[in-house]
A and B are shown apart, each in its own frame.
Chain A
Amino acid sequence: MADILVEHHSSNRLIIQLLIVLFALYALTRTLMRFRKRTIGLAEFVVWSGFWIAGGICVMWPGITQWFAGILGVGRGADAVFYIGLVGLSYAFFRVYLRTRQQDQQLTMLVRKLALRDAETNAQPTTPPKTAADA
């Protein structure tokens, strides 16, 4: 039973390696395509390409993360990847959060402008009392 599990484990590992590398290659082509269409700039292209290439290399040769973990003083390679990933994701989330807030404010300004403009254009004969006309 235990042997089977181990065997499964190692073959699964190959499969997962292959899948992740394929996905990284796919992401790399998408990044390149976006760069060609100029929806992303050179800096973004370099950063994202670097990210996917580095990720692919780490998956192909897990020893690299082990070596890297040693430098950082973290026990295992997987842990080092996990920690860095967590920090990276937290930062990405923070950026998205700020962006959403900013867009919320812009949306409110837009909705307000439209409301005020519609009020100006709509003649509202019932409302303007004499005080408003004086002002």
Chain B
Amino acid sequence: MSPVVYFVIPAYNEEAAVGDVVRRVRAAFPNIVVVDDGSADQTAAAAREAGAIVLRHLINRGQGAALKTGIDCAVARGAEIIVTFDSDGQHRLEDVRALIEPVASGRYDVALGSRFLDRETKVPPLRKLTLKLGVVFTRLVSRIQVTDTHNGLRAFSRHAAQEIQIRQDRMAHASEILDEISRLKLRFCEVPTRILYTDYSKAKGQRSSAAFRIVWDFLIGKSGM
């Protein structure tokens, strides 16, 4: 019997993209939790119409906070595998099966998507530099070796999803998740996943300069303050 898979999709002002993303995912995976992170637009309605379970943050709390809310909901509903997926359409559904398999088979607790293991993904130069610095930073600070630290596509076992604490409300949650994997000594692997750098996803995504804020948030959080 195949495990119960839940998709968790945090969305902030994504009415234009989230409906299509949900419909595409839903064709293969029926359980989708979209967390509308206090959007000002019709994100929640678009996601609900497309068939997702929609949770609403009354005010915007950040992607990390939204992910945690969605993961809590999925766990409460009996999810055995939880896949995190971005709402802007930058991930490919084809990659998800390869991501789920290592966790479903019980060999790993967490599977992380990596755009740098994928030969086809064309990462813009500045973004590549920033992400590579992130890899070095993560290796030094969290003592975990990965090739892509800020990829929104991941699969967690139920156990891993319950153990990993996400306290970083904003973007530093990605570093925090890796830190937690290292702290909890979870078994993890990386899987090549493509990132589709469309004009839309680039416009909606983070600026490379956001890295400073991420490092600051992460270090302050890690110091226990």
Contacts and interface: CB of A to CB of B under 8 A. Distances in A.
Contacts of B48: 124, 126
Given A101-B225, A107-B61, A124 B4 contact: no
Nearest to A133: B78
Interface stretch (A45-53, A81-89, A115-123): A115-123
B190 interface: no
A115 to B, nearest CB: 4
A104 B221 CA distance: 12
B206 to A, nearest CB: 19
A108 B61 contact: yes
Nearest to A117: B55
Q: Which of A105, A131, A135 has the most CB of B within 10 A?
A: A131
Interface of B: 4, 30-31, 35, 38, 48, 51-59, 61-62, 65, 68-69, 72-73, 76-79, 167, 169, 220, 225
B77 A132 contact: yes
B129 to A, nearest CB: 30
A134 B55 CA distance: 21
A9 interface: no
B4 A115 contact: no
Given A115-B57, A118-B55, A129-B31, 13 more contacts: A101-B220, A111-B61, A111-B65, A111-B69, A112-B57, A112-B69, A115-B35, A115-B55, A116-B55, A116-B76, A124-B54, A131-B30, A132-B31
Contacts of A116: 55, 69, 72-73, 76
Contacts of B167: 105
A132 B79 CA distance: 8
Nearest to B2: A131
B34 to A, nearest CB: 10
14 contacts: A98-B225, A101-B225, A107-B59, A111-B38, A112-B61, A114-B58, A116-B69, A116-B76, A118-B55, A126-B48, A127-B31, A127-B52, A132-B78, A134-B4
